[in-house]
Amino acid sequence: MNLPAMFSGKTFVRDFTASIVVFLVAMPLCMGIAVASGAPPEKGLITGIIGGLVVGFLAGSPLQVSGPAAGLAVIVFELVREHGIAALAPILVLAGILQFIAGSLKLGGWFRAISPAVVHGMLAGIGALIVIGQFHVLFDAKPLSHGLDNLAAMPGRLFGLSFTDATVTELAFAIGLLTIGAMLLWEKFRPASMKLVPGALVGVLVATLAAYFGGLDVARVSVPASIFAAVQPPGEGFLAQIFQPSLLATGFAIAFIASAETLLSAAAVDRMHDGPRTDYNKELRAQGVGNLLCGLAGALPMTGVIVRSSANVQAGAQTRLSAILHGAWILGFVALLPWLLREIPMAALGGILVVTGWRLVSLSHVRHLFHNYGALPAAIWVATFATVVATDLLTGVLVGIGLSAVEILPQITKLRLKVDVTEESDAREIALAGAATFLSLPKLSKVLDETPTDRPLRLNLRQMSAIDHTCSELLADWLQRRRGAGFPVELTGMPLKLRRLVA
């Protein structure tokens, strides 16, 4: 870590201002995701603090910001409902250990090999479940135990409204709609000089002021007088709980999903800037330490989060200092101003999560898959999405991974990918021969990422017999990033599907 560079004049100023932007984005999301997870809001705040102060310091992706993630809200909600909030401690300790081991064994590349269709289908399913679950929070009601039950109950909520005789239910719904409206209108019409002020913050402020000055009797956020009182170390029998079969399976599921979402986010962050690239194994180890500490503190699980990370990059962050400072701002705010948090209506947090969940659905990605790769990857997305909504998160991911294997069946007898790197006096050549599938992605990504930029590069694909959409996305991203940095690549024998992506 280059400490002098972090604290140099211009770099420090840009990191300082970026950290404030990320803090303003993170505060409402930390609390909202906690509520969506069936946990008290302060649990999400503790995770945000650890994600900034600890994981920000250790991370392998300098500009990625970690905290509680909407992508894990559904699985945590089910866990809390069935086993209670105390069950999070052993599960997160186990998940953190698994992530640290995976990073130490240099398995980060294998998480990147998970099909983008599976990951985005999983996130879309999670987004849909968050929308139909948090819809009920808009009415000051608790979500039901299953996504389909929540969906079936939605019409009854709407038809039960009576604005001629407004009660707490109608007032809460009005506050939720006000939050959503203020958030969307601000993001559409905000002046250029205030483009870094997040819509979620505006939505919460407008709703809180309306509830306060209107004297509305709606449910509000409940946080302890001291954030340190919310830290709950594991109790007796903690180690024995880790080895309970049901909790053991959940620990593996959280480790797997959190790692996949983190590394997907890190890859997206790398495409947003020209600074140092992500060390995926170091990032996995940092996330492992973070989730281990979250377990010991009785908080929520964390991942690298694209919403906060993109805000960090767009705000001009230069080093990991911005992520570290955002954790310090969260700690300072909740330690000094807990009374202010208690004025926030619960329906406002529900409104923020409805918008957040809707954006996770991202139908544009399934259109991208269909347009560039055909029906099979799009079908994998749809199957993963539908299974997550109808059954559970882990089943949906396993179904998606199983269907991904169908894509390589035509190449089953020739799956090996040979990568030859040839050094010449005037150029370097990388020649690929065989089938480039998700099974060979770790090998391919390692060669590409380690390719220096000291001389021109030729990428020879003439002997490549097939390429699936996972490797196509990897190659396209790498080519665009390398060319964007001013390092030309000469391509020969490029497949049609890849040519469309980099044209």
Q: What is the tens place of the pLDDT at every residue in 189-207?
A: 999 888 888 888 999 999 9
* Element containing residue 248 per DSSP (H, E): helix 245-270
Q: How high is the pLDDT of residue 50?
A: 97
Q: How high is the pLDDT of residue 45?
A: 95
Angle between helix axes 280-297 and 88-104 (nearest 10 degrees) is 160
Residue 426, SS3?
coil
Distances 116 to 120, 264, 349, 411 between C-alpha atoms, Å: 6, 9, 29, 20
Name the H helices within 362-452. Answer: 363-373, 375-390, 393-404, 441-449
Q: What is the pLDDT of residues 410-425, one digit of tens each?
A: 767 677 889 998 887 7
Q: How high is the pLDDT of residue 301?
A: 96
Q: Which residues make Cβ contacts (< 8 Å) with residue 448, sequence separation at least 6?
A: 430, 474, 475, 478
Closest CA to 144 of 156, 126, 155, 132: 132
Whole-angstrom Cα distance, residue 66 to residue 127?
19
Whole-angstrom Cα distance, residue 255 to residue 99?
6
- Report whether 423 contacts 405 (CB < 8 A): no
Mean pLDDT, consecutive 10-residue stretches, the chain (503 aa), reads 59 88 89 90 95 95 91 87 89 95 90 83 87 89 81 86 78 94 94 87 94 92 85 80 82 90 84 81 96 95 89 87 94 90 92 88 88 90 92 84 82 79 84 89 86 84 87 86 81 74 61
Half-sphere exposure of 321 (CA within 13 A, CB side): 22
* Element containing residue 489 per DSSP (H, E): strand 489-492
Q: How high is the pLDDT of residue 1?
A: 57
Quick one: how far is CA 437 from the chain centroid? 25
Closest CA to 385 of 371, 396, 377: 396
Whole-angstrom Cα distance, residue 300 to residue 294?
6
Phi then psi for residue 236, to 5 deg, are -65, 150
At 68, list the tokens. Answer: 């509680």
Residue 487, SS3?
coil
Domain boundaries, the chain: 10-341, 359-411, 417-502
Q: How high is the pLDDT of residue 2?
A: 56
| Whole-structure pTM value | 0.82
CATH topology (fold) of 417-502: Transcription Regulator spoIIAA (3.30.750)
Q: How high is the pLDDT of residue 25?
A: 86
- Report whether 382 contacts 396 (CB < 8 A): no
Q: How high is the pLDDT of residue 74?
A: 84
